[in-house]
């Protein structure tokens, strides 16, 4: 995992350029386009889906995110896909998950980068075409060992 040889030696502080954030209007337009494409004309329903993300994230480089379909899959109804969007990231689409009905449930956790404080959106497309949505506004702070 860690590159130990690098850690054995000193290194010059490299210059990193912060990821440029994009203008709010464009960001929102891009997010809306993503959601529209994902929803396929349906109106997303604000129910049945949980988006668990810290309201104040201490480490913007690794914000834990859980997306969970509240109900288990039933014979007729399962979840086909999750879409996760961070609308003020330089690339708003963060990731997608596709589920087989054999999973029996949809509950995933990952860690994402957030360029700044913003609204994070999770969407689910159900096998019957229904679209579920959940939005959470996240404030980015910094913590680490010494937050």
Partner 1 sequence: MLNRRTFIAAGAATVAAAPAIAAPVAVTSTTMLKPKGKKPRIVIAGGGWGGLSAARHLHAQGADAEVVVLERNPIFWSLPMSNKWLIDVLNTDYLLHDMIGPSRKYGYELVQTEVTGIERDKKIVRTSQGQIDYDFLIVAGGIRNGYDAWFGNDEKAIEFTRRAYPSGYTADAEHVAIKNKIHNFKGGTMVMTLPPPPHRCPPSPYERACVMAWYFKKNKIPAKIVILDPKPRIMPIGGGFKAAFDELYPDIIQHIPNAKVKEVDPFNKKIVTTAAEVKFDDAILMPPHQAADMVWRADLIGKTADGKPTTWAEIHPTMLHAKEDPNVYLVGDVMGAVSKQFGYYPKSAHVANYIGKIVAIYIAQRLKGQEVKTLLPDNLCYMMVSGEPKEAISVQFDYEIMPDGTISQKQIDIDIRSADLVEEDHKWAQRMYGDFLA
Partner 2 sequence: MAAKSSKPRIWISNRTPNSGAVVTVKAMVTHPMETGLRKNAHSEVIPQNIVETFECTLAGETLLSWQLHPAISQNPYLEFKFVARKSVDLTMRWVADDGLRIETTETITVT
The minimum distance between CB 48 and partner 2, in angstroms, equals 17
Question: Residue 136 interacts with partner 2 (CB under 8 A)?
Answer: no
Q: Which string of x and - marks every residue 7-46 that binds partner 1 (by CB under 8 A)?
A: xx-xxxxxxxxx----------------------------
The whole-angstrom separation of Cα 84 and Cα 109 is 11
In the chain, the N- to C-terminal Cα span, in Å, equals: 25
Nearest CA to 134 out of 71, 64, 48, 41 is that of: 48
Question: Residue 53 interacts with partner 2 (CB under 8 A)?
Answer: no
- The residue within the footprint of partner 2, chosen from 33, 70, 111, 141 (CB under 8 A), is 111
Q: What angle do CA 71, 76, 82 make, to 5 degrees?
A: 50
Strand partners, 52: 66
Interacting residue ranges for partner 1, rule: CB under 8 A: 1-2, 4, 7-8, 10-18, 54, 58-59, 61-62, 64, 142-147
């Amino acid at each position: 995992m860690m590159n130990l040889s690098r850690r054995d030696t000193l290194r010059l502080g490299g210059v990193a350029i912060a990821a440029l954030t994009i203008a709010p209007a464009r960001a929102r337009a891009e997010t809306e386009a993503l959601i529209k494409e994902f929803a396929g004309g349906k109106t997303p329903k604000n129910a049945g889906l949980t988006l668990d993300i810290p309201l104040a994230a201490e480490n913007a480089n690794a914000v834990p995110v859980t997306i969970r379909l509240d109900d288990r899959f039933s014979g007729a109804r399962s979840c086909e896909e999750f879409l996760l969007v961070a609308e003020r990231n330089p690339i708003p689409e963060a990731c997608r998950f596709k589920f087989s009905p054999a999973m029996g449930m949809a509950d995933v956790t990952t860690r994402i980068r957030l360029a700044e404080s913003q609204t994070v959106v999770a969407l689910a497309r159900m096998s019957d075409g229904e679209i579920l949505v959940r939005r959470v506004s996240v404030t980015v702070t910094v913590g680490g060992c010494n937050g």
